[in-house]
Amino acid sequence: PNPTTPLADLHRPPSPDPFPVIIFFHGGSFAHSSSNTAIYDSLCRRFVSLCGAVVISVDYRRSPEHRYPCAYDDGWAALKWASGEPWLHSGKDAKLRVFLCGDSSGGNIAHHVAVKAAESGIEVSGNILLNPMFGGNHRTESERRLDGKYFVTIQDRDWYWKAYLPEGANRDHPACNPFGPNGMKLEELPFTKSLVIVAGLDLVQDWQLAYTEGLKKAGKDVKLVYREQATIGFYLLPNTDHFYEVMEEIKNFVTSWPPLKPLKAVHEHCIKETARSTRPLPTHHAPTRWLRDPLSLPVAAQVRRAGKSVDGDAKGLEVYRRVPQSRARSANQPHTKLSGARIHD
C-alpha cells in the first residue's frame, strides 16, 4: 500500500479499563491450514465475543517450503508488531496485555515465541496452548496405543516434523522437544503463565503432559485442563460439553489472570484514533478482513459494496475486534471501520 494513503479511523471505547489482546497461531502441523481456514476464522471470532479481546490471527509461513525457524520468526514479528502499535495498548498505564494462543503447531509456536519474549523483555500476560504439537525421538505409550485410531498416525507426525525441522535434525531438537536433552532451561527466564489443554484421545498427549511437567519443574505457573474422552480439535466445534468447558477455562484465564475487563460495545461518544503503521502487506496475502463483531459480515465486504476496496497494512496479520454497532454510524460519523485498513476510492 501507498504510505501516503489515509488510514481508516479506529473507534475505541472511552473507558480506561485494560482490554486483552490475543495473538493466535493456527494449527496444521506447520504444513497446512491458514488464518483464512474457516474453523480458525470461527474460533477467532468466538474469542472476540468470549473474551472481549482484540484477536490477531497470524498467517505464518508453512513447511516444507519454509522450515524451522520461519514459523517462529513470523510469530515473533507479529508480537513485535503488536507491541509497537499504540492502539493495542490499554488502561491508565497504556500497557499491552497480550496473550499468545495456538493449537497443534500453533501451540508449539506460542511456546517458542513466549520464550523469545522472555529473553527479550517483552511482557506476555499468558500462554494458551490447545493440543500443542510436541514430540521426541522415543515412542510414548499414548503414541503406540492411539496410532491411527483418531484421525492421526505416528507416520503423519514423523513426516510433519521431518518437513519442518532443520535438515538432519531428529525429534529431540528443542523445537520439537522443548524439555528434552537439548532443550532450553527456563528456570532463570521470566516465562509467562500457561494454560495447557490436552485431549485424552490425542496420540501425542504424553508429550503434552511432559511439557506441562517441564514447566512445573522449571517453577513456572501452569494450569492443565485434561479431557479424557476428547479428540483432537474438539475446541473447534461447539457440539460437546468439552468444548464449552474449555471455552470457559479460556475466558477465565484471559479475563482474570491478570485481572482484565473485556471490551464493551460503545453506543455513543467513541474515541477516534488512527493507526500510523505503514508496513506493507505481502502481495501474495489475501485482503485483510476486518470484523465489526463476531457474528457480522466483514467490514471489507461492506466497503466493497460501496464501490471501494480495502486492504491491510500489517504483514501476515488479520485483526479482529468488536466495534460499535449501529449507533456508531451517525450523521456525524463515517462508516465504522478498524484501524489498520486502508480505504481506496
Q: Comparing 42-51, 118-127, 214-223, 272-281, which segment has the lowest mean pLDDT?
A: 272-281
Q: Which of 29, 35, 104, 339 is catalytic?
A: 104
pTM to 2 decimal places: 0.75
Is the model's pLDDT at 334 over the cut of 70? no
pLDDT band at 259 (very low <50, low <70, confident <90, very high): low
pLDDT band at 319 (very low <50, low <70, confident <90, very high): low
pLDDT band at 321 (very low <50, low <70, confident <90, very high): very low
Kindly give, in sequence order, each residue whose CB lies less than 8 Å from that of residue 210, ignoring residues fewer than 6 positions away.
134, 136, 179
Q: Comparing 55-59, 213-217, 319-323, which segment has the lowest mean pLDDT?
A: 319-323
With CA atoms as reference, report the closest residue to 290 among 99, 86, 41: 41
The three-class DSSP label of residue 43 is helix
Is the model's pLDDT at 94 over the cut of 70? yes
Identify the H or E element spanning 274: strand 271-274
Q: pLDDT tens digits, residue range 132-162?
A: 999 999 999 999 999 999 889 999 999 999 9
Kindly give, in sequence order, each residue whose CB lies less than 8 Å from that of residue 13, ignoring residues fewer than 6 positions away.
263, 264, 266, 270, 271
Q: pLDDT tens digits, residue range 206-247?
A: 999 999 999 999 999 999 999 999 999 999 999 889 999 999
Q: Any idea where the domains of the chain sit in the sequence?
A: 18-259+300-322
Whether 49 is a known active-site residue: answer no
Of all residues in the chain, what percent carry a pLDDT higher than 70?
A: 70
Q: Comparing 171-180, 205-214, 291-300, which segment has the lowest mean pLDDT?
A: 291-300
Backbone phi and psi for residue 214, each to the nearest 5 degrees, phi listed first? -60, -40
Q: What is the DSSP letter of 180?
A: S
Q: What is the pLDDT, as a whole number, of residue 182?
A: 94
Q: What is the pLDDT, as a whole number, of residue 260?
A: 59
The three-class DSSP label of residue 250 is helix
| Average of per-residue pLDDT across 307-318 | 35
Give 285 or 134, the one with higher predicted confidence: 134
Whether 125 is a known active-site residue: answer no
> Which range, 31-35, 205-209, 258-262, 318-322, has the best average confidence (pLDDT)?
205-209
Give bridge partners of residue 57 from the DSSP assignment.
24, 318
| Average of per-residue pLDDT across 53-62 | 93
Q: Which of 9, 74, 202, 311 is catalytic?
A: 202
In whole angstroms, what is the distance from residue 207 CA to residue 204 CA? 5
Torsion 273-317-281-72 (CA) sign: positive
Q: Comparing 25-34, 85-94, 118-127, 232-241, which segment has the lowest mean pLDDT?
A: 85-94
Is the model's pLDDT at 10 over the cut of 70? no
CATH classification (class only), 18-259+300-322: alpha beta
